[in-house]
Structure 1
């Protein structure tokens, strides 16, 4: 498909992604365990801050809830050691669906497109626990099995620092980025790795997590700047 055709389908892709995100957030934040955890970790969220009640959230969710999120939240799969794997698989499915929406019904995703989707899922699988560094107090209260709590804070940080740097180089190589774009991506990942290892307070971990979200966005933008 031409760039114009893809741009025309962008609203559909955005709507699809927003639907999935809204459904996940509603399901993820409404249980008593999640509310108790958020009071400790994220008191600004709508339910613990009193902006919406759990019952209203449940009613909104009834219009949106797919089976996968019921499994993740109501069966507490999100508390298990397999949580990051579930999230990585979900990312792969959502990204592949978004890709197919973007290219249209008369085109097929290439092997490279499928490989990129798998690569992003691998990034998510091995770096998602950065969000758990700042939430250890609430996660411990809920007995959630996260990487920092299972492996120890130090091991989790070392693994995260390595993976962020490794995936920056791998993704840059995959798309054959220009040296300027490569330097920007690797520079940001290096800064994140440094912060993960050196800035260990919960407030600093929250800032590092936001930087990691920016880094994820840069990885997603790789196809726009690649020469491959």
Structure 2
């Protein structure tokens, strides 16, 4: 159920929590404990999102993602919804035990609204704000599970979360057939595929420069270390940007989207790279 989103659910939070551990000068044992807890939290994070999403989007998944449990016949939509409501209190309790319950509650509210309450025709206006809140909750929980969120941490959380979420509508390019079948209004269907590709490429071209000046330079890390982060992030962002413009078919778009997730992981990876 969660395989499609494992890459976006676990590595960014784990890396971000590692950055917080390094900044707090924690030892190896404490760091390992925090890592284990954040992996558990993010497994629940991903499960509540995917169970609720897949309980409602059966018709779309039959076209776009037939390998998922509901369209493949492994479970029913009602069964996915029961799993969602069973895991929700477990997720809340784990968040409470880790001292991040407010971020868990925020994510639960976002997921319930976006996946269960938001009508398909309002999806165009609802998805991006919900994704921003969800990623902020993800990164804030990862940080706060280790240490209080100070102004520096908030700057990193927001400057990473907002550009990444503004690029996320590109995933709708690969899913246009299923979205059209269920009447969902996505940016790709409303604005057109080509304008969305141009937006996506321009945004990813800008992200490395924005992070360099807004996040990397204020750390006062050494020049070679900043250059390494700049280079890795530029490759990670500019590769899917070029692919979005030059390779325009469903198979290529699926890989381009996965490369966007890789760029998100590289963004979070700069925290331990620059603070160690």
TM-score by length of 1: 0.90
CA deviation map 1:57-89 (0-9, x unaligned): 122112134443222122125724221111111
Deviates more, 1:38-47 or 1:136-145: 136-145
Q: What is the aligned partner in structure 2 of residue 164 from structure 1?
A: 204
Q: 1:71 aligns with which of 106, 113, 127?
A: 113
8 Å CA contact 1:13–1:102 kept in 2: the answer is: no
Q: How does 1:209-228 map to 2 (within 5 A)?
A: 209-226=257-274
CA–CA distance in structure 2, aligned partners of residues 44 and 158 of structure 1: 30
1:136 aligned onto 2:136: no
CA–CA distance in structure 2, aligned partners of residues 172 and 10 of structure 1: 27
Report the 3-state secondary structure (helix = DSSP H, G, I; strand = E; otherwise coil) of the residue aligned with 1:129. Answer: helix
CA–CA distance in structure 2, aligned partners of residues 160 and 39 of structure 1: 27
8 Å CA contact 1:132–1:146 kept in 2: the answer is: yes
Q: CA RMSD in A?
A: 1.9
Q: Which runs of 5+ in 1 are unaligned?
A: none
Deviates more, 1:89-98 or 1:17-26: 89-98
CA–CA distance in structure 1, aligned partners of residues 192 and 54 of structure 2: 26
Q: 1:190 aligns with which of 220, 234, 238?
A: 238
CA–CA distance in structure 1, aligned partners of residues 46 and 161 of structure 2: 16
8 Å CA contact 1:185–1:215 kept in 2: the answer is: yes
Q: 2:49 aligns with which of 24, 45, 56?
A: 24
Q: What is the aligned partner in structure 2 of residue 2 from structure 1?
A: 25
Q: Which runs of 5+ in 2 are unaligned?
A: 1-23, 89-107, 218-224
Report how far residue 20 of structure 1 moved.
1.1
1:101 aligned onto 2:145: yes
Deviates more, 1:69-78 or 1:10-19: 69-78
8 Å CA contact 2:118–2:126 kept in 1: the answer is: no
Report the 3-state secondary structure (helix = DSSP H, G, I; strand = E; otherwise coil) of the residue aligned with 1:200. Answer: coil
* Matched residues, number: 222
CA–CA distance in structure 1, aligned partners of residues 197 and 81 of structure 2: 36
Q: What is the aligned partner in structure 2 of residue 89 from structure 1?
A: 133
TM-score by length of 2: 0.75
Q: What is the aligned partner in structure 2 of residue 117 from structure 1?
A: 157
Report how far residue 227 of structure 1 moved.
5.8
Deviates more, 1:92-101 or 1:67-76: 67-76
Q: What is the aligned partner in structure 2 of residue 44 from structure 1?
A: 67
CA deviation map 1:4-34 (0-9, x unaligned): 2344311112211211111010000112xx1
Report how far residue 172 of structure 1 moved.
3.3
CA distance change for structure 1 residues 172 and 45 in 2, over 3 Å: closer, same or farther? farther
CA–CA distance in structure 2, aligned partners of residues 77 and 189 of structure 1: 32
Report how far residue 54 of structure 1 moved.
1.9
CA distance change for structure 1 residues 6 and 170 in 2, over 3 Å: closer, same or farther? farther
8 Å CA contact 1:30–1:58 kept in 2: the answer is: yes
CA–CA distance in structure 2, aligned partners of residues 92 and 227 of structure 1: 20
